[in-house]
Amino acid sequence: MELDAKIPGGHLKDKWDRHRFELKLVNPANKRKFDIIVVGTGLAGGAAAASLAELGYNVKNFCIQDSPRRAHSIAAQGGINAAKNYTNEGDSIWRLFYDTIKGGDFRAREGNVYRLAQVSNNIIDQCVAQGVPFARDYGGLLANRSFGGSQVSRTFYARGQTGQQLLLGAYSSLSRQIAAKKVEMFTRREMLDVVIVDGQARGIVVRNLVTGELECHEAHAVVLATGGYGNVFFLSTNAMASNVTAAYRAYKRGALFANPCFTQIHPTCIPVHGTYQSKLTLMSESLRNDGRVWVPRDMGDKRQPHQIPESERDYYLERKYPSFGNLVPRDVASRNAKAQCDEGKGVGDTGLAVYLDFADAIKRDGKDVIEKKYGNLFQMYEKITAQDPYETPMMIYPAVHYTMGGLWVDYNLMSTVDGLFVMGEANFSDHGANRLGASALMQGLADGYFVIPYTIGGYIAGTSFPEITTDHPAFKDTAKEVRERTDKLLSIQGKRTVDDFHRELGLTMWDYCGMGRKDEGLEKAKKKIQELRGEFWENVLVPGNDKDFNQSLERAGRVADFLEFGELMVTDALARRESCGGHFNEAYQTEENEAQRDDENFCHVAAWEYTGDDKEPEFHKEPLDFENVELTQRSYK
Amino acid sequence: MSETINLTLRVWRQKGPRTQGSLETYKAIDISTDMSFLEMLDVVNEELTVDGKEPIAFDHDCREGICGMCGVVVNGRSHGPEKGTTLCQLHMRHFSDGDTIFIEPWRSKAFPVIKDLAVDRGAFDTLIQAGGFVSVNAGGAQDANCLPVPQEDAEKAMDAAACIGCGACVASCPNASAMLFVGAKVSQLALLPQGKPEAAQRALSMVRTMDELGFGNCTNERECEAECPKEISISNIARLNREYFKAGLFSSVM
Ligand SMILES: Cc1cc2nc3c(=O)[nH]c(=O)nc-3n(C[C@H](O)[C@H](O)[C@H](O)COP(=O)(O)OP(=O)(O)OC[C@H]3O[C@@H](n4cnc5c(N)ncnc54)[C@H](O)[C@@H]3O)c2cc1C
Ligand code: SF4
Ligand code: FES
């Protein structure tokens, strides 16, 4: 299979303009003759469903939660980047592009990332027009803050609830289109397969999570905006329902999966505290603007933090990276925290934590200022840990947070299956091997508001569609397969619960395919996952029946897919014989323990093709060409 | 420091919207006080599953107090006893060994029970569809800084916009009124210049829809404000009343 990313020709700065001009258009009056399915109502899906409906298409929009407003995007805290340069620090589209490419450790496409930086400014305009209450300065203009991996303040925010406010903005536009009957909204639905007719994605099979009924829906194109797969690790900062199912089902129907091993471990999360724990809580990275990270200088120092004098503390990020200090990118900050704990300098009951200390910031700016910036985060921390971060330093540890890998898409956001588009965290396209803070919100909204509305038109205008209905055999066959799988899950009636399997899978992934990877560990993980998967299909216990609101059954389906997908991640990690960004194979590091890339052999996207159950997937390569930036060893010193 | 406690749970079980429900008793043993309330329910559900019984259905997703998906009535209080806290952020350290805890779903005509503790809050989406938006299509916006907003207004708008749509205000109100929820959205948009052109239409349409959906009237009981996990102020209801009044008086959009 030839992977053609369809990057338009011409100079980087002109590509998107040129492409928009060259894309075929659907006549305004004809748009209402076309139906588009959008799965997901996060920033990507919500923005796309609203925008496509505004253009006149008939949209069917699906989500798992009881309301589109509750998609996982709602939890994003810190902010969204844009190249507005309102702060006059010398920011530009080029700089945002460059920072994002470099932050991704040169494993993303120049063309896509440049487009992302270009439309970033339109996003802020659009959101403000919707009434998103961004933070403002005294003069009433928009405020900015800085984020990891950047030396300019370009992050727009709404207290610590930026994702919530952006999502509610998209949701309000979506609601307006639902009221206008241009979007038909299906909540509490889980997509369990995509239906392909004559090589084109023409519909989906969903389970109505309340009644258990399987429903078939047809359309002229299908857009997946189903989020990331971080929950393969069981514990992550993702919402409980975040899953790989939609993407993985598409993979099994022929869409290639790109760079699945690229996962992001976020440096500032509340540490794990018990085996009953169901998820991890992020403390926004924006805290690193004012918080100082440290550990005791000496191993095994068990004193309380305030008893440790300044001279016996090691502010290791400031020491090792004087120019970026506490604001190094996430992968660097996470690996350093792990290294400190591995050396026995970790703090807290488990020794798996480092301090994030606000004492100096409070002394400098006053408690009021700190409270205004981070009040809700401090409150959340106190609720969970029963400790007051104004008085005693926070304890933090890295946790799985974001997945850069995803379904392979071309410049039009179309996967290797005709008519199947993928947006937001579910695709792989813009963040390379590591995502910079405040750029996922940017990407989701860019894809939804400003990319897909054009590119899907190009596809529809240039494609002929056979007339079909859900009576077509492809729908019947796909629905039958879905039903058989559900029946199988319920019929096993084994001894171990779904969560029990999920937890074990998560531990395996964390230990062997997490922050530091080794070949032996990865090989071991592969075997363990295969065994666990085998046991799952013989010994899982799923209570209840399928004609019901059955949350155990929902989770069972998701975990079954994670048990296959986890192996794909490991396969990908083993194949990438270098370290880059979030993929750190300990065999490939510089003398200073930084990720050592191998640009000669691995400057490519690894895209995997499904070849059958229990068969090795087939590897495809999309070489990455860098014409505008020079590949350098990332340095944040 | 964490310790463990034993609890008796009295949990509302109901098979579906049209069946009768009842309170069932379960034991929650060795519950760490560091657990969240939902993690405690997870533990109980794991045991029920292994014992061949059906686990308790309850809604949740982010477990960070932001998605608004969780919410049940705990000992008669929406989201439990802690002020300004969603159920998922409520920790077991606020309970004592030997406590009996009553756990019930939101009860309101507009929010029918789906199963056990899960209810259908679709009526809130219908309310937003009635006018909780600014009519602006993607693509046409001017530069964001062309429209300065006094910081104070922006902050107040943000206070109102913090609503997570959980429904606790309705569940706590003796009249099952949705005035706090609607007041929050109307206020957010009324405080911002972007929301002004449609302010009258919005207030009228959202209030009318609220009545149609079977929510009750506001008689100033203030329970909503007391139980709201995001501490949305009832001054937003006053603003909604002003906006509604103004719309009725001065506009032609009745
Ligand atoms: C705690 C936290 C904080 C973050 N903070 C920031 C930040 O400050 N800045 C930033 O840029 N990024 C941040 N991120 C990352 C960012 O929030 C996400 O990457 C982004 O919101 C993903 O958006 P999305 O639209 O792709 O998917 P999501 O928001 O995950 O939405 C997925 C949608 O798909 C639906 N869905 C999924 N599977 C199915 C299925 N099988 N069937 C039907 N529907 C399905 C879901 O119901 C949901 O509607 C944060 C992430 C976390 C976890
Ligand atoms: S006003 Fe408060 S209680 Fe009511 S829905 Fe909003 S957050 Fe929940
Ligand atoms: S689960 Fe999201 S608010 Fe409680």
Angle, in degrees to the nearest 10, between helices A519-539 and A498-513: 170
The rounded distance, in Å, linking the Cα atoms of A150 and A157 is 16
Q: What local confidence, expressed as pLDDT, does residue A516 receive?
A: 92
Pocket lining: B93 vs ligand 3, CB cutoff 6 Å: no
The rounded distance, in Å, linking the Cα atoms of A440 and A442 is 5
Pick the CATH number of B121-135+147-253 from 1.10.1060.10, 3.40.50.170, 3.20.20.140, 3.40.50.740: 1.10.1060.10
Burial (CB count within 10 angstroms: exposed 0-12, middle 13-18, buried 19+), residue A311: exposed
The rounded distance, in Å, linking the Cα atoms of A137 and A133 is 12
Do residue A131 and residue B64 have CB atoms under 8 angstroms apart?
A: no
Closest partner CB to B150 (pick from A140, A541, A549): A140
Q: What is the DSSP letter of A345?
A: -
**Domain ranges in chain B?**
4-114, 121-135+147-253
Distance A497 CA to ligand 2 centre (A): 34
Q: What is the mean pLDDT of residues B44-62?
A: 97
Do residue A240 and residue B61 have CB atoms under 8 angstroms apart?
A: yes
Concatenating the DSSP letter of every residue in B182-249 gives HHHHHHHHHHSGGGGGGHHHHHHHHHHHHHHTT-B---S--HHHHH-TT---THHHHHHHHHHHHHHH
> Does B67 contact A at CB distance below 8 Å?
yes
Give the closest ligand to the alpha carbon of residue B230: 2
Interface test with A, best of B35, B45, B66 (most A CBs within 10 A): B66
The rounded distance, in Å, linking the Cα atoms of A160 and A580 is 30
Distance A156 CA to ligand 2 centre (A): 25
> Does B36 contact A at CB distance below 8 Å?
yes
pLDDT digits over A83-107, tens only? 999 999 999 999 999 999 999 999 9
How close is the nearest chain A Cα to the Cα of B192, in Å? 7
Name the closest-CA residue to atom 7, ligand 2: B163
Task: Please say whether the beta carbons of A419 and A221 come within 8 A.
Answer: yes
Owner of token pair 């330093």: A393
Closest partner CB to A70 (pick from B35, B69, B129): B69
pLDDT digits over A409-420, tens only? 999 999 999 999
Pocket lining: A226 vs ligand 1, CB cutoff 6 Å: yes
Q: What is the DSSP letter of A308?
A: S
* Whole-number percent of chain B with pLDDT over 70: 98
Indicate the average pLDDT of chain A: 96
Closest partner CB to B129 (pick from A179, A543, A548): A179
> Does B213 contact A at CB distance below 8 Å?
no
Closest partner CB to A549 (pick from B118, B125, B165): B118
Indicate the average pLDDT of chain B: 96
ipTM (interface pTM):
0.98
Q: What local confidence, expressed as pLDDT, does residue B248 receive?
A: 86
Name the closest-CA residue to atom 4, ligand 2: B169
> Given pLDDT bands bounded at 50, 70 and 90, which one contains residue A348?
very high
Q: What local confidence, expressed as pLDDT, does residue A636 receive?
A: 77
Concatenating the DSSP letter of every residue in A29-64 gives GGGGG-EEEEE--SHHHHHHHHHHHHHT-EEEEE-S
Strands A221-224 and A35-39: parallel
Task: Please say whether the beta carbons of A424 and A43 come within 8 A.
Answer: yes
Task: Please say whether the beta carbons of B182 and B173 come within 8 A.
Answer: no
Residue range B4-114 forms a domain whose CATH class is: alpha beta
Closest partner CB to B165 (pick from A69, A281, A500): A69
Q: What is the mean pLDDT of residues A49-68?
A: 98
| A221 Cβ contact partners less than 8 Å away, ≥ 6 residues apart | A34, A36, A37, A201, A419, A420, A421, A456, A459, A460
Strands A540-541 and A35-39: unpaired
Alpha-carbon dihedral angle through residues A146, A147, A152, A156, given to the nearest 10 degrees: -60
How close is the nearest chain B Cα to the Cα of A214, in Å? 18
Q: What local confidence, expressed as pLDDT, does residue B254 receive?
A: 47
| A407 Cβ contact partners less than 8 Å away, ≥ 6 residues apart | A224, A247, A250, A251, A255, A256, A257, A258, A415, A422, A426, A427, A428
**Residue B153 structure tokens:** 């207004």
Distance B224 CA to ligand 2 centre (A): 8
> Given pLDDT bands bounded at 50, 70 and 90, which one contains residue A594?
confident
pLDDT digits over A121-143, tens only? 999 999 999 999 999 999 999 99
Phi, psi for A414 (deg, rounded to 5):
-95, 140
Do residue A139 and residue B55 have CB atoms under 8 angstroms apart?
A: no
Residue range A473-597 forms a domain whose CATH class is: mainly alpha
Considering chain A, tell me which residue range(s) the CATH 3.90.700.10 domain(s) occupy: 267-398
Closest partner CB to A140 (pick from B38, B121, B151): B151
Pick from B36, B58, B61 the residue to mutate for probing ligand 3's pocket: most ligand atoms within 8 Å of its CB: B61
Considering chain A, tell me which residue range(s) the CATH 3.50.50.60 domain(s) occupy: 12-262+404-461
Q: What local confidence, expressed as pLDDT, does residue B252 receive?
A: 60
Q: Chain B 127-186, CB below 8 Å of chain A: which residues? A: 128-130, 132-145, 147-151, 154, 157-158, 161-162, 164-165
Q: Which ligand 2 atom is the nearest neighbour of the CA of B230?
A: 7
Interface test with A, best of B18, B30, B128 (most A CBs within 10 A): B128
Q: What is the mean pLDDT of residues B173-177?
A: 97
Task: Please say whether the beta carbons of B219 and B213 come within 8 A.
Answer: no
So which residues of A are the catalytic ones?
330
pLDDT digits over A250-301, tens only? 999 999 999 999 999 999 999 998 889 999 999 988 899 899 999 999 999 9
Distances (CA, A) of A288 to A238, A326, A489: 21, 6, 45
Distance B29 CA to ligand 1 centre (A): 35
Q: Chain B 81-110, CB below 8 Å of chain A: which residues? A: 85, 89, 91, 93
Pocket lining: B63 vs ligand 3, CB cutoff 6 Å: yes
Q: For A540, which residue in chain B has the nearest alpha carbon?
A: B50
How close is the nearest chain A Cα to the Cα of B239, in Å? 17
> Given pLDDT bands bounded at 50, 70 and 90, which one contains residue A587?
very high
Task: Please say whether the beta carbons of B84 and B229 come within 8 A.
Answer: yes
How close is the nearest chain B Cα to the Cα of A444, in Å? 14
How close is the nearest chain B Cα to the Cα of A386, in Å? 9
Name the closest-CA residue to atom 1, ligand 2: B181
How close is the nearest chain B Cα to the Cα of A298, in Å? 25
* Whole-number percent of chain A with pLDDT over 90: 91
Pick the CATH number of A12-262+404-461 from 3.40.710.10, 3.50.50.60, 3.40.50.300, 3.40.50.1370: 3.50.50.60
Q: Which helix (H) or strand (E) holds B159?
A: helix B151-161
Q: What local confidence, expressed as pLDDT, does residue B251 receive?
A: 63
Q: What local confidence, expressed as pLDDT, does residue B1 receive?
A: 55
Task: Tally C-beta pairs within 8 A across A and B.
Answer: 215
Pick the CATH number of A267-398 from 3.90.700.10, 3.30.300.160, 3.30.230.10, 3.40.50.970: 3.90.700.10
Distances (CA, A) of A338 to A332, A342, B35: 10, 6, 25
Pocket lining: A225 vs ligand 1, CB cutoff 6 Å: yes
Residue B253: pLDDT above 60? no
Q: What is the mean pLDDT of residues A318-333?
A: 91
Q: Which ligand 3 atom is the nearest neighbour of the CA of B89?
A: 4
Q: What local confidence, expressed as pLDDT, does residue A373 receive?
A: 82
Q: Chain B 214-243, CB below 8 Å of chain A: which residues? A: none
Interface test with A, best of B38, B47, B51, B137 (most A CBs within 10 A): B137
Distance B162 CA to ligand 2 centre (A): 9
pLDDT digits over A170-187, tens only? 999 999 999 999 999 999
Start-to-end C-alpha separation, chain B: 59
Angle, in degrees to the nearest 10, between helices A110-130 and A93-103: 120
Q: Which helix (H) or strand (E) holds B47?
A: helix B37-50
The rounded distance, in Å, linking the Cα atoms of B32 and B208 is 47
Distance A106 CA to ligand 3 centre (A): 37
